[in-house]
Structure 1
Amino acid sequence: MLDRRAILAALAAAALVAAPAFAAKRDHEVRVRMVTEKGTIVLALYPDRAPVTVANFLAYADKGLMRGGTFYRTVSPKNDNNPAVISVIQGGLGDGGPQLPAIVHETTRLTGLKHQDGTLSMARGAPGSATSEFFICLGANTALDFGGARNPDGQGFAAFGKVIEGMDVVRAIHDAPTRANADDPYMKGQMIEKPVRILELSRK
């Protein structure tokens, strides 16, 4: 007869092996709450994996700088203008509000964090240019990882956390109506008609 305790131990060990990288570091996570006009999103940040990026995001929270920011862009296969298609919502201060200095780019090759469903990551132009702009993934977006095709430089984007509550809010923002035009043709059809305001970003 099989030993019940041995079976349970084996199942537990298998679950640990199968667990995603985000779950493996829960003891080190910092949680923040983002209150938006469409509801609250709770985020787990991973300072042991992406210390510079997490410190930057927490600075915006601790200084109250993200109040007045918005989610203003939604990208999906139906409106993406890049052949390396993704599904994300993007937010931050845009061209308004105080910006902290740009930060060093922590690649997914360095951190081991991947762009999965609910991943929180930094928007950027050139590597090392990220400030207040961030995005949240819907589904797996491997094109955003190091070596992915989304950005021609191949450096990917800096994942540093994950949504642990409020993916329904993320999906609602993702489904928001968009404008047909944009100042940047690359973002045509992606700018949210009525940007969703961020009311609060604070440690939980």
Structure 2
Amino acid sequence: FKNAGFYRTVRKNNQPNNNFKIEVIQGGLFSDEEIKKHPGIRHETTQETGIKHLDGTISMARNEPGTASTEFFICIGNQPELDFGGKRNADGQGFAAFGKVIKGMDVVRKIQQLPDENQYLKEPVRIISMNIR
């Protein structure tokens, strides 16, 4: 995730047109050129993996199943509408959860509260270091 960052914050108060509100921060490469370089990965539902969208869960952002590649989000609080059968996406497939923040949720919560315009942070937060174990 060289040159990646957090660029989107979704809070209950900044998604007026969504019936099923969520709370997450989203990050990744956020570049159409970079996204095109990385093919989508197979969509693994929460029904398959058993990993639910709970506080601190890390999950792949996507449009359609199988399109996730370079973008991810972190849940703030439990987000069952993002699981298989949830209503956040019309297809009901949910999002592919794959990990959990084990240290630094205080930082995640601070990022979520940064100033935004239409859910996009006014100043993206660069990712200096992120480890996957």
1:41-120 correspondence to structure 2 within 5 Å: 66-80=1-15, 81-95=17-31, 98=34, 99-120=37-58
Normalized against structure 1, the TM-score is what?
0.61
Following superposition, the deviation at residue 70 of structure 1 comes to 1.2
Letter in 2 for 1:190: Q
Taking structure 1 as reference, are residues 100 and 110 closer, same or farther at Cα in structure 2, changes over 3 Å only? same
Matched with 1:45 is none
Matched with 2:96 is 158
Q: CA RMSD in A?
A: 1.3
Taking structure 1 as reference, are residues 90 and 125 closer, same or farther at Cα in structure 2, changes over 3 Å only? same
Runs ≥4 in structure 1, deviation > 4 angstroms?
none
Q: Based on CA coordinates, which of the two structures has the bigger radius of gyration?
A: 1
Deviations along 1:7-45, one digit per CA (max 9) or x if unpaired, are xxxxxxxxxxxxxxxxxxxxxxxxxxxxxxxxxxxxxxx
8 A Cα contact 1:117 1:137, kept in partner: yes
1:123 aligns with 2:61: yes
Distance 2:92 2:62 in 1: 13
Which residue, 173, 178, 193 being the options, matches 2:122?
Answer: 193
1:120 aligned counterpart, secondary structure: strand
Taking structure 1 as reference, are residues 194 and 153 closer, same or farther at Cα in structure 2, changes over 3 Å only? same
Following superposition, the deviation at residue 100 of structure 1 comes to 2.1
Structure 2 spans left out of the alignment, 5+ residues: none
Following superposition, the deviation at residue 82 of structure 1 comes to 1.4
Give identity over the alignment, percent. Answer: 56
Structure 1 spans left out of the alignment, 5+ residues: 1-65, 180-188
Distance 2:107 2:125 in 1: 11
8 A Cα contact 1:119 1:137, kept in partner: yes
Which residue, 157, 170, 176 being the options, matches 2:114?
Answer: 176
Deviations along 1:90-134, one digit per CA (max 9) or x if unpaired, are 000112563422100000000001000000000000000000100
1:170 aligned counterpart, secondary structure: helix
Q: As a proportion of its length, which structure holds more helix?
A: 1
Taking structure 1 as reference, are residues 164 and 152 closer, same or farther at Cα in structure 2, changes over 3 Å only? same
